[in-house]
Chains A and B, each alone.
Chain A
Amino acid sequence: MPTTEEVRTGLAEIVNEVAGVPADDVQLDKSFTDDLDVDSLSMVEIIYAAEEKFGVSIPDEEAKNLKTVGDAVAYIERAAS
């Protein structure tokens, strides 16, 4: 079972690879669109990569509610448990 920090780090790697955002900027309180400048197409890629990396399913209706890094990390933790 990954820790919150492990999930955050894993997600940060993905966000960095997909959208070029420095991994250290991908902190729990950051909004994907407002703070990290990640657009909706990049979110599609990030969600897809997170599903693969963490072995979880993130349906479109849920994905659109993941506004901050913290939202995404919390969802992944719940889904992976």
Chain B
Amino acid sequence: MTSLNSATGAKAAAILGFGGYRPRRVVDNAEIITMIDSTDEWIRTRSGIVERRWASPDETIQMMSVSAARKALDTAGIEPGQIDTVIVSTVTHLHQTPAVATTIASELGATGAAAFDISAACAGFCYATAMADSFVRTGASKYVLIIGVERLSDMTDTSDRSTAFIFADGAGAAVIGPSESSGIGPVVWGSDGDQASLIGQTEPWDTAVRDAEGDAVWPTLRMEGNPVFKWASYTMAKTAAEAMDAAGVRPEDLKVFAPHQANMRITDAMFRALKLPADVVVARDIARQGNTSAASIPLAIEALLESGEAKSGDTCLIIGFGAGLVYAGQVIVLP
């Protein structure tokens, strides 16, 4: 068989910088309970959320992504022109084509970068991290910009008691590039399509819009809370443990735990199930940000680094899980 050349990549890859964008508008529980029959206490107990951010019309997927990306590039000390690949993970860019990654690359000045969007729900940032790591190590890319960005509020049914208080908006970015030693552990990832009905958009745009008799009904996000909680707390804890194993990190070596900020109760249940040492720093960004799907992990990490709770060089376990069902976890070293 003919053998072609293979590209040579870097011997190792790492995340070089994080950056985030949080929408201006703070929506507290008092405002949420004007829309649904609930209480501030119930929302806090059920999810840990005190307030969340909803994007205004000018805070588009493009705008938030570019802002988060600029911060990440700055922190990483990388020029936009050095980025040769842009991956955007989102389920709320409501425009099929062109991918928003292309115009983001363009606006940033990442001229000619390979650019594409991925749809991996709340596992999106971890999926993108795995891809970026592989691209850098196989030579497909040198510097990859990954962005998790959502306007979940565009797809939230504010009359749905079970979801109106959860979903929120924002963008988180990271720059991944070559490194002397590996700062990204092997990904443990997968899907469970048999449970696709547990979380997702109520109906496709074509049946909602084109086939509507009378006024079209805007599709929204719905979720079956209890089965998802069980899956996230236990099955995902096993995935997280496998990711630590794959990276060669023992619980006592772990410094930071930054799971997708789905629900504070899930974070706590996973922490217990993983039997992590009590001094591990736990990401609790959801309290003031809400659940921002693909953006939640990078936003949570940015917050921990900015506050000093997490430090450069800390080993950090990240795991995303969501609609699909999809999941991905890995250990990273914080830049």
B45, B46, B233: the one within 8 Å of A44 (CB): B233
Q: Which chain B positions have C-beta within 8 A of A39?
A: 45-46
* A39 to B265 CA separation, bound complex (whole angstroms): 11
- B116 on the interface (CB 8 Å rule)? no
- A1 on the interface (CB 8 Å rule)? no
Distance from A18 Cβ to chain B, minimum over Cβ atoms (Å): 8
Are B233 and A40 neighbours in the complex by a CB distance under 8 Å? no
Are A48 and B234 neighbours in the complex by a CB distance under 8 Å? yes
* A48 to B265 CA separation, bound complex (whole angstroms): 15
* A45 to B265 CA separation, bound complex (whole angstroms): 10
Chain B at the A interface: mostly helix, strand, loop or mixed? helix
Q: Which chain B positions have C-beta within 8 A of A44?
A: 226, 229-230, 233
Distance from A70 Cβ to chain B, minimum over Cβ atoms (Å): 23
* A41 to B47 CA separation, bound complex (whole angstroms): 10
- B118 on the interface (CB 8 Å rule)? no
Q: Which residue of A lies closest to B266 (CB)?
A: A41
Q: Which chain A positions have C-beta within 8 A of B229?
A: 41, 44
Are B234 and A41 neighbours in the complex by a CB distance under 8 Å? no
- B269 on the interface (CB 8 Å rule)? yes
* A48 to B269 CA separation, bound complex (whole angstroms): 11
Residues of A within 8 A of B (CB): 39-41, 44-45, 48, 60
11 A-B contact pairs sorted by A residue (CB < 8 Å): A39-B45, A40-B225, A40-B226, A41-B46, A41-B226, A41-B229, A41-B265, A44-B230, A45-B233, A48-B230, A48-B233
Known: A41-B229, A45-B233, A48-B234. 6 other contacts (CB 8 A): A39-B45, A41-B226, A41-B265, A44-B226, A44-B229, A44-B230
